[in-house]
Chain A
Amino acid sequence: MSEAQRTPFVESLLEAAAQAQLPGSGIGWLDAARRENLDAFVAGGLPDTRMEAWKYTALRALGQRRFAAGDAQASTRAIEMDRYALAGIDGPSLVFVNGVFRQDLSRADNLPAGLTLQPLSQVLKGDAEPLRFALSRHYRDGGDVFARLNAVLAGDGVVLRVAANAKIAQTVRLLFVGAPADAALASHVRQVIELGEGAELSLVEQHVATDSHQNLGTQVTDIVLRQGAKLRHVTLQDASDASTLVRHDSLQLDAEAHAAMYALELGGSLVRHDLHAVLAGDKSRLDTGGVFALRGRQHVDTQMSIRHQALNTTSESVWRGVADERSRGVFRGAIVVAEGADGSDASLSSKNLLLSAQAEIDTKPELEIYADEVKAAHGATVGQLDERSLFYLRSRGIPLAEARAMLTAAFCRAVFESLPDEGLREHINERLMAQLPSA
């Protein structure tokens, strides 16, 4: 690959890789994986919009930016934890500041039986062998550029395991705090989550900011659910409005496993979320739901793929998008029912609201079916707030801005209605109302 394509972005991250003193260096297979992914990153650079997966998200401007390697103060910055508290969720937690684990802010002692919850940085200093499979991944698809980068530079993150048949009653919380530093910096977090046979876990992941910052965050998460395991995973993305955040989730469900994955995207300047799931075992089930509510010049791109690969598998996906001002939302939901995956049932709904003439939403549901006896349905709409409903609310005395917020929140709320945790639903509703146009 020619030097001409080494953008300032690639240059700055190469420098970071050269300086990095990552935990786990010296472990042969890990060094090799990091090196391979680095080579791929340098050779591939950032994709352009000719690549299908990046068709609606241009990275040219990002390519011209430089990011510093890390935050020297990450482990000492004062963090007001109360600001990010979630009512009713006070169980085990891991907290990271600019990608660095903070023991002092976390609660990982006295864990319930069957739960393993450790920062990756600690695990890599001990026996890293159990992580070998996950951390040896080589991202061959040029579209996975940020996963490559993450594989090279992630020195911290989450290792979470639930032992077979352990049902963890308390919701586990993962909090990622971004904070402004002297320069825009890049941080990289890697998560490995495994639920053993029949295990159950509820997980909440929060991305927040102390103040506005222009940092880049990458996060790669591998989740495996063994037979009959149940996971509920809620991501509340409330990052800085000036930040760039790329999350890449891979999910594997064995037989009779059930995962419910939710995402609320409120923050970020440039946000990309990939969710790739494989229903690998018979009778496994995946529910996904997400909302993006955008304003200003925010750009949020969700790319979801679900592969039905076994008998009698089910997936149900409900996504809602709202774009105001000059923001842009992108949703692509691709469902593949593989040959032989008979009895699969897949549904996908993507409904979207444009609140301004300058906003844009691109939604693209895709369905590929190679099996027989399959039930599949998908639908996508982009519309505006119903004038009749708005007038109805106003005729009762509710001011226009409040009426708009009320209708928009109601439109989004449907996604989270099945969440059993009322405090969480309340929090989501409050954040939505705060984000939605009110002026």
Chain B
Amino acid sequence: MLPNEETVMLKIENLHARVEGKDILKGLTLSVNPGEVHAIMGPNGAGKSTLGNVLSGRDGYEVTAGSVTFNGVDLLSLEPEARAAAGVFLAFQYPVEIPGVNNTYFLRAALNAQRKQRGEKELDSMQFLKLVREKLKIMQISDELLHRAVNEGFSGGEKKRNEIFQMAVLEPKLAILDETDSGLDIDALKQVAQGVNALRSSERGFLVITHYQRLLDYIEPDFVHVLADGRIVESGDKNLALKLEAQGYAWVNDKDPALTGASA
């Protein structure tokens, strides 16, 4: 079950991070290969969203120890836009509404900015529209979303689907889904999962961060990791998620020496 060191795409080693002076990640180690779907589960406050934010480069997260390499590059030294260009995509738990910026304009600017950073030729509007139409079909999304401002007035389900649609257009190597299931009813959840599954490929890795097992009924993970108090305390296959669902997170805390010993 251990990833092959030769092909590893994302390698997180002994990662420590703090937010507003508070230690959140306390020695997290994890590797993701292309083609693999890793689920990160854990109780509230375990550091799940912090992990997504640290990997995508959000301000306010201070890495105090450890390293993250992405295809051999020191990911933590890159600006957020450079991480995106390198192929890291974060699907936000709370996608931001940006009034006045048209969704299509935004996506084209994003794609071309990434291409430019990678030294690739930018797409003209015809090429871009062709690409967008293909992706809309895969995602089964109406093109009406394209004509609106980014996420403005979108329902919870529309926002999450828009995240996955962006992922489809930007074609990242690593997609981090931060509690993508939160706030979704079962129909919306299925639609989002369907979109994610359509994007699974042997070249793309996924980090699916979630509190509930529910999402994993629809996005079947190759690996499940339990995150508690800032580190991974248990790893397994999809059956681990079922165990968590049945038993809750209480047993996790018993496994964590940090919680029985020193306090924060």
Tell me the A residues contacting B by CB distance below 8 Å.
Answer: 386-389, 391-400, 402-403, 406-407, 409-411, 413-414
Contact = CB atoms under 8 A, between A and B. Distances in A.
Contacts of B85: 397
A393 B110 CA distance: 8
A437 B71 CA distance: 33
Contact of A397 (B58, B96, B98, B117): B117
Contacts of B81: 394-395, 397-400, 403
Interface stretch (B39-47, B99-107, B226-234): B99-107
Contacts of A391: 58-59, 80
Most buried by A among B79, B90, B111, B113: B113
A397 B59 contact: no
B207 interface: no
Contact of A392 (B92, B100, B170): B92
Nearest to B169: A396
Interface of B: 56-59, 79-81, 83-85, 89-90, 92, 95-96, 98-101, 106-107, 109-111, 113-114, 117, 149, 166, 170
B98 A410 contact: yes
Given A389-B96, A392-B98, A411-B100, A397 B79 contact: no
A413 B99 CA distance: 10
Given A387-B59, A391-B58, A396-B166, 8 more contacts: A393-B98, A395-B83, A395-B84, A396-B89, A397-B85, A398-B81, A399-B79, A402-B113
Ranked nearest first, the 5 interchain pairs of A and B with the lowest CB-CB distance are A410-B100, A397-B84, A397-B114, A396-B110, A394-B80
A398 B59 contact: no
A397 B56 contact: no
A394 B109 CA distance: 11
B109 A392 contact: no
Nearest to B92: A392
Main secondary structure of the interface of A (DSSP, over half): helix
Contacts of A410: 98-101, 149
29 contacts: A389-B96, A391-B59, A392-B96, A394-B57, A394-B79, A394-B81, A395-B81, A396-B84, A396-B89, A396-B107, A396-B110, A397-B81, A397-B110, A397-B113, A397-B114, A397-B117, A398-B81, A398-B110, A399-B117, A402-B113, A403-B81, A406-B101, A406-B106, A406-B109, A407-B101, A409-B100, A410-B99, A410-B149, A411-B100
B96 A388 contact: yes
A396 B98 contact: no
Contacts of B89: 395-396
Nearest to A406: B101
A387 B98 CA distance: 12
B58 A413 contact: no
A398 B80 CA distance: 9
A393 B92 CA distance: 12
Given A395-B56, A396-B110, A400-B79, A413 B170 contact: no
B102 to A, nearest CB: 9
A288 B96 CA distance: 30
A402 B90 contact: no
B170 A396 contact: yes
A391 B149 CA distance: 17
A403 B96 CA distance: 14
Contacts of A397: 81, 84-85, 110-111, 113-114, 117, 170
B132 to A, nearest CB: 15
Contacts of B100: 409-411, 413-414
Nearest to B101: A410
Nearest to B96: A392
Contacts of A396: 84, 89, 106-107, 110, 113-114, 166, 170
Most buried by B among A393, A411, A413: A393
